[in-house]
Structures are given as structure tokens and as C-alpha cells.
Amino acid sequence: MLQVTINDRAHEFPAGLTILTALRQVGIDVPTVCHDDRLEPTGACRLCSVEIAGWNRYVTACNTPLANGMSIQTHSPGVEDARRTLLRLLAANYPAEAVREFPEKQFHRYLAQYRVSPLGEVRSVAPDPSHPYIHVDMTQCIICFRCVRICNELQGQFVWKVWDRGDGTRIVPDSGTTLRESSCVACGACVDSCPSGALEDKSIRQLGVAEKWTRTTCSYCGVGCEIMVGTQRNRIVQIRPALDAPVSKGHLCVKGRYAFDFVHAPDRITQPMIRKNGEWKNVRWQDAIGFTADNLARIVTKYGADSVGVLGSARATNEDNYLAQKFARVVLGTNNVDCCARVCHAPSAAALKAMFGTGAATNSFDDIEQTRAFLLCGTNATENHPIVGARIKQTVLRGAKLIVIDPRKIELAQYADVHLQIKPGTNVPLLNAMACVTIEEKLVDESVLNERVSGWDEFREFIRGFAPEKMATVCDVDPKLIREAARLYATTKPAMCFHGLGLTEQRQGTEGVMCLVNLALLTGNFGKPGSGVNPLRGQNNVQGAAHMGCEPGNLTGMLALDEGRTLFEEIWRAPVPDAKGLDLMQMIDAASDGKLKALWAIGYDIALTNPNANATAQSLKSIEFVIVQDMFLNELARECGHVFFPVASSFERDGTFMNSERRIQRVRKVIEAPGEAKADWKIICDLAGAMGKGEFFNFHSPEEIWEEIRSVWKAGHGITYARLEKGGLQWPCPTEDHPGTTVLHTKSFPSGERAPLKRIEFAASGETTSSEFPFLLTTGRTLYQFNAGTMTMRTPNTELRSTDTLDISAEDAARLELSHGERVRVRSRYGEVFTPIRINPAVKPGELFATFHTSEVFLNRLIGPGRDNVVHTPEYKVVAVRIKKLSLVTR
């Protein structure tokens, strides 16, 4: 410990702190304007200077290491005078009106504290209001460079540039014109760091500053960033990152930071509704619940319990999803329960469970900075999981190696050591080819193979048939690049895999993930920090929804029905049904066969998001009774709904989410729900009561539900709400004194000492090009929109990305005489859509990429019936299409 005196009082500190950190630890505040804990300290503004006995100059506290024996004065007259002088210089041309407008800004507080008056009265530079979220007023710039540094060091976007030197120094966006025209991705980091208000959120200029701040978890993607939500009279006015959040580390993306206006959208449904003669009519809750209970009881009596299906929601909390599956099993008596994990990462869960024994990410996001090489397979992380993408990018900029497997030149491909730009649908032969190189070139980890892996001899024989030179034409990749990627992954340790839907939404999705696990097993890249196989889950709580038991074959905790039956029946005091349940895709099939008579879709617009949308719509329309539970009248409700339950958003309820790295985090109520909208769990309890099963749903709060969850879920037993108040916890966490688990499989696997290598043959997709359908189309998200667009399309994100688009190479566009922005007709074997094109060099000739967020385009009409051959996840990523200029369409 270091012995240090501060302002004449003795203190002890551990070694390794800066003076500033030590001062903050003992509650002493010194001013800083260039400092931000998220950045490397520079000491540039010198405001944090302190006096140290025996030193002949003042030293900057932010970047001076604390040393034993230091005697520090933080507010001596000399230091305070120096600070006042520095502030006067900064305020010489500063507009006084800015201080009056936002007195709480960091720089403005210092001016008041040191009684320094800004001398500029009028703004000398016109503000730039071009951006939908960020107001730019460089008259207020005090050249602290925080915006420049945070954009470079945290986001890695390099938007802000320093022009000129000395008195002429200016900070400008890389467009040289407006922020809107720059390469800004609207993460808001520069705004969050700006101490003066030169960069400011438009929302607080329009709505006023927050009166109250509440910490909660982002409701968009599965990264699980924690946010601080600022409110004023039941209105969200601003969202900022939680600075100490373990995942996001004081950073957010455009969705988490800015896309919150959907909560206050005028078309929120705030009262329950029943459809009569085709018209939706507002009704009282008791009528909606009674009507639903009567219909469900009638259908169960007439057709049997297995004629009803329930879909949990990746947008809802763990507690909501736990009750949804309990309702299906205990109230209805069916295992027909599923959630949208079916259409995204069910293959990951199945493959990881089959090979490692646990169907979830093996490692943590904090491993990103510890790895030396990344293998990214089918994940466009900077757009789909932006905070993880930014952390990967920063780690690569600091020297880690990067292999990208993706049909497109995604942003991270620009930073890659090797980009394997594969033909869609060929992940299995490519990953097998990498395994072949690993073995052929003797790059395997012998000791790991000997001690922790089974099936080696058979696998070695099998994989010989996948030499890169043989697979190159199948995958459309140079075999030298396959060899280079395999060497890089096998020899740069630890190496970490992340994968996304580009791997899973394929006919061989589950087997593709198994091939990735094979690589990790062969090279020993598992069971230690900075390694492993890690699915990037799409929606905030998709991992949780499935894990809570919204799967036909599994109870809570991924416990197979037969494994968990005794425990659950004991705790529920009700039988768990025997009959095998239907998954989502099987429910659609059953509807089409006339066997599914009722469906309850909680927060899940399957009409818009399911593949083969025309056929799906026909099936859904044949269901006798459809209950839709959502914030908005979605496509499913519009087309097929009979009763509508309006729900509270994640800002309007309490509970927990589970992120991609198995972390349970609190969701906290920030504002009251509008009108009569209710949390999902309350609706489920009410309906259970109306169906005579209220005794099994006697819950009064999400915490009470959580207590039951942890009684049935061994790996989550140690996670309590009280513990979550101090921060999220990663399961397995079996006891209340267990710290949670950051890395799985360090010594053994749940299934035993060894994990098996799997021999996976390639089975080509049925979606092949022909003279009639010459293009291969893949689909995905854009940074600015989210899934069905339910939330983001009701925010100013539409100004940043207003419509779905079809990306095409310049060569193909020229050949078809298409120009950027032109609308085209796209036709597959299953349907057609009309969409504007973007000429994009990221796409190879002969291939296309489209986003799927809007009902106007309804892209899923193009997607075929192909499914993963193990868990039925649809083949969204491969579809053969043709395109036609609208002027040539005769129909």
C-alpha cells in the first residue's frame, strides 16, 4: 500500500492508481475538461493540476501516477489561481447564452464555481442542426479533443477531425460539411463526453433536461448494454450509457442511445381490443380476458390441448417468458411453446449443447480484449451488435488478428487479415477445409486432443476429403486464403470465435456451428479466457426466452422434459404434459393442416418475420383464434388477430434480461405504461386466473416469479434480485456466494471429461441459381433498424435509414441498367417484392443483400421453406432470385 497525504490528511492506496483516481476514491473533486475515464489521460487542459510538496511545478492529476510518500494539495491558492486563469482563457470567446441555457454542463459548472464569466455574447459559428439526434454548435467548442478521441478510441469511427493549429484550431466532421453528411454512426459517444455542449442531444433541447435518472438494460440487441434513462414527468428525454456497465463500458449504439421515441408513439395500443365483424373495438380488460379464456377453454375441450400454441417473446423479460411456458404446460396442458430463438440461434444452442454440453456462449465479452485472434463467422458485428463490434475493432486496431467469413465485405472485413468471402450456404465445407488444414499441417493442440476430445481417429480420416483445393470451388474462395485463415486461427492463441445468423440461418445451421466447435476443439481454443465459441444473440432476451423454457422440448434451464419432469411437477404441483410439443415452424405446418386451432403470440410478429411469408399468411389465417400481445397493431394482428392485449414496454416494467454471454441483468421501470397497457406477466396471471388455474400463478411481482425460477433452475439458483442490484451475474451461478461464471468448460464439460469431434458432411442448399433465378440473395439487419421495425421505425432512425434496400454490385447494376436508389422487382420461387437498390461494392457480382425491416417491402415473401435439418431454423440466408427494372415489368 502507498502512504499518501492529501490536504494534510494521511491516506493509504493500492499501487497502480493515478493521482486523480486516488482523489476520487477519497471524495475529492478537482476540475477536468479534457479527461474522460473512458479515454487514455493526456493532461492537456491542465485544470486538474495539483501541488505536490517538494516538486517545483504543478502536475496534472489525471496522468501522473500516485507514488508513496506524496504530499498533495488539491486546492491551494496557487493551484486555484492557475485554474481560474485557464478557465478565463477557455471562456474568452465562449457564448454566455450557452451557459444560461444549460448551467448543469460540466464546463459551465466550473465557470460558475470559479466565478469566471464567458465573454462571448453571440454565436460566431452557425450551429449545424443537420443530424436527427445531435445538435452541433462549435461556438461552444473549447478544443478539449474529447469528441475526437472518444470517436477514435471507443467507437473507432474516426469522424471528428482537427483542422488547423493554434488559435485557428477547429474540430470538424470528416465530411468537411455537416455531421449528417459525415461517416458518423450516431453512437453519441462524442455528445456524452463533450463537457461544454458544443455537441448536444437534440432531445434535451426539445424536451428539456432530465429530472430523474433510472438505470436499466437496453431493449434492443443481445449485447446487453446498460443505460441510464433520463425522464421528465413520465417522458423519456434522454438516454446515456451507464459508465460502469460491464458489457458496454460507458458506450452505446444509435439504437440504445437514441431510438426510444417508440415508447411515446401516438399509435401505441393502450387498451385491450376484440375484433368484431372485422373491426377492432376497445374493451375492458376483464372482457378481453374473459373472451380469451372462454375461447381457449372451448378449443381445448373440442380439439385437445395440443391444438393450441404459445409463443414467448425475446423482447419480454425472463419472468414473462417463464410464465408463458408455465401457462402452456400447466393451464393449457401442452408443450406447444416456442419463441423466436427458433428462427435465429436455436442451431447454436443445439450444437453447443451437443458438443460442449451447455447450449450457450462459452466465454464473455470481457474476453475480447484478452484474445489475440478473432474468427468471425456470419456476423456483421459493427451493425448488428455494435458495442461488441466496436470492442472487436479496437482490439484489432491494437494488434489482434482477424479472420472474417462472410459473403459480403462487411465493415470489419476492411480490418481483417483474411477475409473469406464465401458463397452463401457453404459454411460447412469451408470450416471443414480449415479443420483439414489444421490437421494436415499439424497445427492441432495435441495435449488438448489427448485429454479433452473424443472421436479423433474417425474425424482425422473423415476430414481428409475436405482439402481447401477441393472445397475452393464449392465455397468460391481462394484455397490459399483458407489455409492462411486456418493457420492464423490455430497458431495465434488464444483465438475467439463469434458467429451470427449468417452461420445459423442455413439448412446446415446446427451443423455449421458444430464445425466451428470442431475447430475450437482441434486447436484447444476453449476453456480459457479469450477463446471459445460465442453466438451473438440477436434480440435483447432471446437467450433468456428460450432458456426460461419457451421451447417445446425443454423446461427452464434447457432441461429436457424427461430430465426435469419430476422436479418441475414437485415445485409446480401440477403435471408436465407428456406429448411432444410443436416448435414454431411445426405450429405453422399444423395450422396449414388444420390442426392448430389457437395461437397466443406474445411480442412476436410472426406474420412479418417468418419466412415464406405468403404461405405463412395462409396458414395463420386458418387459425380459429389468434391472441396478439404487443405494443402496436402489428401485421399478425392486422391480418389474423381476434383479441389484442396491449403491453408495457421494457421501460415500463421490472424484471430481468439474459444477454448473449449468459449475464442476467435487471430491467427497471422507468416510466408508467400508457393507458391500460400491462406487463406481460400480469396478463398471463390474469388469464390463468380466468381459466381456473390462478393458484399456480399467484405472483405479485417479477421478483416473486424470479424466486420460483431460481428454485427450478440449478445453474441460476445463486442469482437473486438483491445481488443483481449490485450488477449482472453470469450463470452458472449455483449458490448465493458464487461469483458467476465467465468462462465455461475450463476443466471438464457438463457431459463429462471429453467433448466429441463431429463429422459433418456437406449437404448443399436446395436454393440454387438457374437462368430463371440467377442471383443468390442473403438478408440481414442494418445498424439503424431493428428486426420487424416495430420500435426503430417509430423513431428518427428513419431519417438515417428510411427504407429496406437491396444491395447489388456495380457490375450487375450496370449490366441491368439500374441506378442507385431505383426501385426494382425481386422475385423468388415463393413470392415477389419491390424495393429500392443500393449499389454497394460490399456485394459480389451474382449475389445480393437485402434488409427486412418494413412491411412495405415485406422481404420475407421471398424466403423459401428451407429449414435447418436439426432444429428447423429457416434458411433466411440463401434464396435464389431474379430482379427486374420496374419499367420492364409487364407482369
**Looking at beta carbons only, is 256 or 780 nearer to ligand SF4?**
256
3-state secondary structure of 338: strand
Judge residue 427's burial from the number of C-beta atoms within 10 Å of its C-beta, 0-12 exposed, 13-18 middle, 19 or more buried: buried
Q: Per rule CB under 6 A, is residue 237 in the interface with ligand SF4? A: no
Q: Output the smallest distance, CB 252 to ligand SF4, in A.
A: 4
Q: Which helix (H) or strand (E) holds 222?
A: none
DSSP 588-601: HHHHHTT---EEEE
Burial 684-698, CB ≥16 within 10 A → b, else e: bbbbbbbbebeebbe
Task: Find residue 850's DSSP bridge partners.
Answer: 779, 806
**Looking at beta carbons only, is 221 or 683 nearer to ligand SF4?**
221
642-661 footprint of ligand SF4 as x/- string (CB under 6 A): --------------------
**Looking at beta carbons only, is 377 or 387 nearer to ligand SF4?**
387
User: Which residues in 377-406 contact ligand SF4 (CB under 6 A)?
Assistant: 385-387
Q: Output the smallest distance, CB 539 to ligand SF4, in A.
A: 10
Q: Output the smallest distance, CB 259 to ligand SF4, in A.
A: 8
Residue 696 per-residue DSSP state? G
**Looking at beta carbons only, is 224 or 347 nearer to ligand SF4?**
224
**Looking at beta carbons only, is 257 or 882 nearer to ligand SF4?**
257
User: Interacting stretch for ligand SF4, rule CB under 6 A, among 222-230, 625-633, 788-796, 882-890?
Assistant: 222-230
**C-alpha cell of residue 64:** 501522473
User: Which residues in 271-310 contact ligand SF4 (CB under 6 A)?
Assistant: none
User: Which residues in 238-257 contact ligand SF4 (CB under 6 A)?
Assistant: 248, 252-253, 255-256
Alpha helices in 304-345 (DSSP H): 318-326
**Looking at beta carbons only, is 224 or 535 nearer to ligand SF4?**
224
Q: Output the smallest distance, CB 788 to ligand SF4, in A.
A: 15
Residue 278, C-beta contacts closer than 8 angstroms, at least 6 positions apart? none
Q: Output the smallest distance, CB 255 to ligand SF4, in A.
A: 4
**Looking at beta carbons only, is 223 or 729 nearer to ligand SF4?**
223
Task: Find residue 161's DSSP bridge partners.
Answer: 172
* Number of Cβ atoms within 10 Å of the Cβ of 376: 27
**Looking at beta carbons only, is 185 or 355 nearer to ligand SF4?**
185
**Looking at beta carbons only, is 385 or 653 nearer to ligand SF4?**
385
User: Interacting stretch for ligand SF4, rule CB under 6 A, among 175-183, 223-231, 572-580, 821-829?
Assistant: 223-231
Q: Cis omega (within 30 of 0) on the bond before 386?
A: no
Q: Per rule CB under 6 A, is residue 221 in the interface with ligand SF4? A: yes
Q: Output the smallest distance, CB 224 to ligand SF4, in A.
A: 6
DSSP 23-59: HHHTT-----SS--TTS-----S-TTEEEETT-SS-E
**Looking at beta carbons only, is 333 or 502 nearer to ligand SF4?**
502
Q: Cis omega (within 30 of 0) on the bond before 494?
A: yes
Smallest Cα–Cα separation from 551: which of 311, 356, 317? 311
**Looking at beta carbons only, is 326 or 391 nearer to ligand SF4?**
391
Q: C-alpha 590: how far from its chain's center?
A: 32
User: Interacting stretch for ligand SF4, rule CB under 6 A, among 219-227, 290-298, 351-359, 640-648?
Assistant: 219-227
Q: Output the smallest distance, CB 498 to ligand SF4, in A.
A: 14
**Looking at beta carbons only, is 385 or 452 nearer to ligand SF4?**
385
**Looking at beta carbons only, is 307 or 665 nearer to ligand SF4?**
665
Q: C-alpha 165: how far from its chain's center?
A: 40
340-379 footprint of ligand SF4 as x/- string (CB under 6 A): ----------------------------------------
Smallest Cα–Cα separation from 863: which of 553, 493, 508, 608? 608
Q: Output the smallest distance, CB 467 to ligand SF4, in A.
A: 39
In order of 347, 536, 545, 599, 745, the CA distances from 604 in angstroms are 20, 20, 12, 12, 34
User: Interacting stretch for ligand SF4, rule CB under 6 A, among 216-224, 269-277, 344-352, 681-689?
Assistant: 216-224
**Looking at beta carbons only, is 241 or 552 nearer to ligand SF4?**
241
Amino acid at 853: H
Residue 51, C-beta contacts closer than 8 angstroms, at least 6 positions apart? 58, 72, 73, 74, 76, 78, 79
Binding residues for ligand SF4, total number by CB under 6 A: 14
**Looking at beta carbons only, is 644 or 852 nearer to ligand SF4?**
852
Q: Which of 86, 223, 471, 628 binds ligand SF4 (CB under 6 A)?
A: 223
**Looking at beta carbons only, is 220 or 830 nearer to ligand SF4?**
220
581-620 footprint of ligand SF4 as x/- string (CB under 6 A): ----------------------------------------
**C-alpha cell of residue 794:** 417509430
Whose grid coordinates read 454490385? 809
3-state secondary structure of 406: coil
Q: Which helix (H) or strand (E) holds 757?
A: none
**C-alpha cell of residue 560:** 429436457
Residue 678 per-residue DSSP state? B
Which position's Cβ is nearest ligand SF4?
A: 256
User: Interacting stretch for ligand SF4, rule CB under 6 A, among 215-223, 441-449, 599-607, 735-743?
Assistant: 215-223
Q: Output the smallest distance, CB 369 to ligand SF4, in A.
A: 17
Q: Output the smallest distance, CB 390 to ligand SF4, in A.
A: 8
Judge residue 158's burial from the number of C-beta atoms within 10 Å of its C-beta, 0-12 exposed, 13-18 middle, 19 or more buried: exposed
**Looking at beta carbons only, is 173 or 256 nearer to ligand SF4?**
256
Q: Which of 114, 133, 220, 258 binds ligand SF4 (CB under 6 A)?
A: 220
Q: Per rule CB under 6 A, is residue 332 in the interface with ligand SF4? A: no
**Looking at beta carbons only, is 128 or 226 nearer to ligand SF4?**
226
Q: Output the smallest distance, CB 323 to ligand SF4, in A.
A: 24
- Contact status, residue 294 vs residue 287, Cβ threshold 8 Å: no
Length of the chain: 891
Q: How would you classify the pairing of strands 663-667 and 655-658?
A: antiparallel
User: Interacting stretch for ligand SF4, rule CB under 6 A, among 29-37, 218-226, 825-833, 868-876?
Assistant: 218-226
d(CA 843, CA 380): 13
User: Which residues in 161-190 contact ligand SF4 (CB under 6 A)?
Assistant: none
d(CA 674, CA 271): 9
Q: Output the smallest distance, CB 131 to ligand SF4, in A.
A: 18
Amino acid at 710: R
Strand locations in 737-855, DSSP E? Answer: 755-756, 775-780, 806-808, 823-828, 832-839, 847-851
Q: Per rule CB under 6 A, is residue 789 in the interface with ligand SF4? A: no
Q: Output the smallest distance, CB 389 to ligand SF4, in A.
A: 8
d(CA 776, CA 879): 6
Q: Which of 218, 337, 437, 813 binds ligand SF4 (CB under 6 A)?
A: 218
**C-alpha cell of residue 719:** 442469482
Q: Output the smallest distance, CB 249 to ligand SF4, in A.
A: 11
Q: Per rule CB under 6 A, is residue 225 in the interface with ligand SF4? A: yes
d(CA 236, CA 220): 16
Return residues touching ligand SF4 (CB under 6 A).
Answer: 218, 220-221, 223-225, 248, 252-253, 255-256, 385-387
